[in-house]
Each structure stands twice: as structure tokens, then as C-alpha cells.
Structure 1
Amino acid sequence: MVQVSDVQKQVKPDIFNYASFLLENGYSYIPADFYQQKTENTAVRELQTTYDALNADPKGGGRYRAHSRYILAPNSDTLELDPDNGYFQSKEYNYDDGGTVRQFEKISDEFLLHPVTQYMINTNVEIARQTDLVDWEKEVIVGLHQIRYHVTPDAPSYSSPIWLHRDDEPLVFVHLFKLSEDAIGGDNLIAPSVKQIDKVLRLTNPLETIALGQKVFHAVTPVGTANEDGAHRDILLVTFSNR
């Protein structure tokens, strides 16, 4: 259980700028220092190590992942961890793996309850409240997807769906935790339609973030490497939707 109100006093005034840009343009870039704390360097390294323990995605793609979600009741400031861990995407939004309830391992308490993670979640709630992209008079689901894209020279890794799409969730935060120096790709594409790409953004620093709404299409390019020892891209997705 987490009290959103406990961190409201810490939230920076930039939330209004990021929320406004998101509403107008369908996406918003948020620099790493927005989420950084005094203990950021050590804390982020602690969180980065948890990606080593992720289990392989049953659907393949060189992905390793875990998933958990919080429930925020109407007009409440308390995030309740949901014991139900099923994850569903419609075929409309995920034409590769949508249409079924998928089960993943739950995110470890070490990662989920870490002060940096909790600060990120609650700060995202404050940004989300400024956008009204979800209905706060109804139950809000805050989903967390911890994902590693692991690659070798002969085995690239890719997202699902692999190309331009919109998500089921009205609002998604993509937080980078680590990108190997030898990784190729992993660039975020922003597009007003499936026939035109307006922006290519590359997250390289831990905690760099892109917030995405349904006003734009988006994708992340496949990740590869020439390094025989392999490489990886580690992210945390924080999603907002109504049940």
C-alpha cells in the first residue's frame, strides 16, 4: 500500500509542463534528473541488478519480464497492490500477442518497494492527474512492466507488437534503466500515422523517460549488438487505465 499524498509535496512544478506537452503533442520527453534523488546513483545500480533475475517472456522475442499492478480507487490517494496479475491486451492494439490473458512473474519486492521506484510511480500519478487521460471518478489501474531486451550478434530482441501501434492503456511512461554501450537500436519512434514518423528519440541515461498517449502511434526499434558477450536494454513501463 502506498499513499500518493505522501509524495505530493515533493513533486516538481515541471509536472504541469510535461502534462501540457503530452496533451498537445501526444507524447512528452522527461529528462532523467526529474526523477533523480540524492541517492540516485547507488539506488539505480541496486535496481539495475534486479533485471538479471527476470524470467523469459513465454512469447519469446529476446524479452525477459515481470509484471505487477496497483489499483487506485475513485477519489483515493492509496495505491493498493492487486493480487490478480493477469495482463490483457486487445487484438486491436497488439496484433501479435493480444486477445488472451497473459501471466508473468510478479515484480520482486526489492524492485517494487524501492524508494526510487515508489517515487517514480507516485510522480507519474501526479502527471497523470494533470492530463485526465483516465477517468479518476472510476477505478484506475496502474500497471508496471519490468522488461529486459537481451541480445547477441545472432539473436536480436524486439517489442510486441514490433512496429507502429497504439497501446490499450491511455497513458504509458517508458522509463529507461540501462542501455548497454554496445547495443544497437532501441530507439523510440513517434508518429502521427502509420505512414509518417515525426520523431526518433533515444533514451540512453538511467531514468530518462517518454510518456505516451493514444494521440500518436509509437514503436521501439529492435535491439541488436556486435558484441559476442551480448547486450541489453532494460526498461520499466508504468501504465494508466480504467478497469
Structure 2
Amino acid sequence: MEIDNIVQDLQGQGYAKFNLKNFTDFTIADDELKFLKANFADMPLDTYSEGNRLRNYIQVAWHNNEVIYGKFEPYQQTKRYNPVTGGVVRDYQNISVEILKTALFNKIVKTDIDIVKNIEDMPPVEELMIGVHLFRYNAGKEPAYSSPAWLHKDDEDVVFMHLVDVSEDLVGGESIIAKHPKRIDRVLRMKKTFDTLVVNHRCFHAVTPMSVPEEYDDNAFLHRDIILVTFQKRETGEGIE
């Protein structure tokens, strides 16, 4: 079973790589995929950090086996895990209601939830903080890059990175996995739509900065579009009111 293999890799080595299309019940309507891809170009620039990224965001509550979308609590990370914007409450534009209503988007979120349900050391999904980010790395002569820009762990306990689209000539964008910040263990590239990398706190991870090839025009841009779905344990006594 695909989920068993993913959880085994995640628990053993801190990451797993797979494609959502490997799930027999993961069906894709061409019109919904086209609509999802088109949405990334319309997102606003993330002004909280450098890196030339466009970004939307929404939070998820799992209640009675149903997904509920909204903004339930302030979004911020700690300086321990993100020295760049840690401690800053960030409020991003919501993912559009039209995207949230698509069967495709909901299937992505629910597939991630199904995987997390099978991780023994994670609390029930109902008790987790769940967030969904849409990212476009908008790379030109000025590079696009993540924040933090190098090996790190996230505040969130489990993080799914789903590739939606990537420009063929994009330079960079490789995912790096490391057990220790001074030694790189794996370099991976997500190439196909819905190639997915999921990580936990057992490893460090990063994505290499992205740019256009040197011969490209100064006004040219290439992109890498990602859906990031995060699951975070709550501190004792913390909850949604």
C-alpha cells in the first residue's frame, strides 16, 4: 500500500518522495488542473521576506471527516526554526474560494491528511494546526529562493511539498536532504506534476535558489509552482476557540 511505504520512509529516514498519481483513487480533471495552474500567476508577492515568491495561504480544520477552510489563528513561525521571519505574524492573501471548491485541491489536502493519520507519533488530525501555502518561485536574472534559504527544519512537524508546475529551463530548484547540517545526504529533483516530497524533524531540508539561464533576456522569468501542506502539533492547552 502506498501510504504504508510513505510512512515507513518518513519514519525511518525523515523524508519520502512519491507522486500523488500513484494513488488509485487520485483522479485529475484536466479543467481543474488547468485552472489550478493558472491561479499561481495571479498571486501577490510575498513581502514578508526576500526571495521573489508569490504566495497565497489558507488554514484547514478537520471536523467530522470534513475539511473546513478559513483563518482560525495567527500564522507565525519561531526564530528557532526561521531566523528570517520568525516571531512575525504574517497574514497572506487567502487561496481563492474557486480553488478551494475544486475536487482536485480537496483531494490533495485529504490525501495528505490520510497519510498523517497513519503516522504513529502524530496526534489525531483534529488536534493539529494545518496550513496550505501556494508558492510561485518567480525566477529571473534576480534569483528566487526559499526562506530560510539553506538547510533547515520547520516549526511544523510534517511538511508536504507538491509540485504543480515547473519551467523546463529553470536553473536550480533541487531539493536537498541532510541528516546533519554539515553533510548533504540526497539531492532530489521534482519534475512531474504532483511529484511530492514530505519531510519531518528527522532531517534538514532545503531547495536550491532558482534563476533563468545566463543567455536569457533580462526581462524573462521562469517559475516553480508548489503546494505546501503543513501539519503541526499544538502546545499543551493550545486550541482553536
Fold match by TM threshold 0.5: yes
Range with bigger deviation, 106-115 or 167-176: 106-115
One-letter amino acid matched to 2:34: R
Alignment of structure 1 residues 2-151 onto 2, 5 Å: 13-34=1-22, 37-58=26-47, 59-72=49-62, 76-84=64-72, 86-136=74-124, 139-151=127-139
Contact between 2:15 and 2:200, CA under 8 Å: does it hold in 1?
Answer: yes
Residue 130 of structure 1, CA deviation = 0.8
Task: Say what the alpha-carbon RMSD is for the aligned residues.
Answer: 1.8
Name the SS for the 2:39 alignment partner: helix
* Separation in 1, partners of 2:144, 2:42: 17
Contact between 1:85 and 1:103, CA under 8 Å: does it hold in 2?
Answer: no
Deviations 1:15-60 (A, max 9, x none): 1111111111100001242258444444322210000110000123
Q: 1:63 to 1:191 in 2, by over 3 A?
A: same
Deviations 1:147-204 (A, max 9, x none): 0000112x10010000100000000000001110121001100000101111111011
Residue 134 of structure 1, CA deviation = 2.6
- Is residue 2:170 matched to residue 1:183? yes
Name the SS for the 2:55 alignment partner: strand
* Separation in 2, partners of 1:114, 1:158: 29
Unaligned runs of 5+ in 2: 235-241
* Separation in 1, partners of 2:73, 2:44: 15
Q: Which has the higher strand share?
A: 1
Q: 1:137 to 1:147 in 2, by over 3 A?
A: closer
Contact between 1:133 and 1:170, CA under 8 Å: does it hold in 2?
Answer: no
Name the SS for the 1:102 alignment partner: coil
Following TM superposition, the consecutive aligned residue runs of length 4 or more in structure 1 with deviations greater than 4 angstroms are 35-38
Unaligned runs of 5+ in 1: 1-12
Identity of aligned residues (%): 32
- Is residue 2:155 matched to residue 1:168? yes
* Separation in 2, partners of 1:137, 1:52: 31
One-letter amino acid matched to 1:152: G
One-letter amino acid matched to 1:209: T
Contact between 2:61 and 2:126, CA under 8 Å: does it hold in 1?
Answer: no
Residue of structure 2 aligned with 1:217, choices 192, 195, 204: 204
Q: 1:219 to 1:187 in 2, by over 3 A?
A: same
TM-score, length basis structure 2: 0.89
* Separation in 1, partners of 2:77, 2:121: 18
One-letter amino acid matched to 2:226: I
Residue 220 of structure 1, CA deviation = 0.4
Aligned positions, number: 228
Residue 135 of structure 1, CA deviation = 1.4
Contact between 1:166 and 1:216, CA under 8 Å: does it hold in 2?
Answer: yes
Residue 112 of structure 1, CA deviation = 2.0
TM-score, length basis structure 1: 0.88
One-letter amino acid matched to 2:113: V
Contact between 1:86 and 1:104, CA under 8 Å: does it hold in 2?
Answer: no
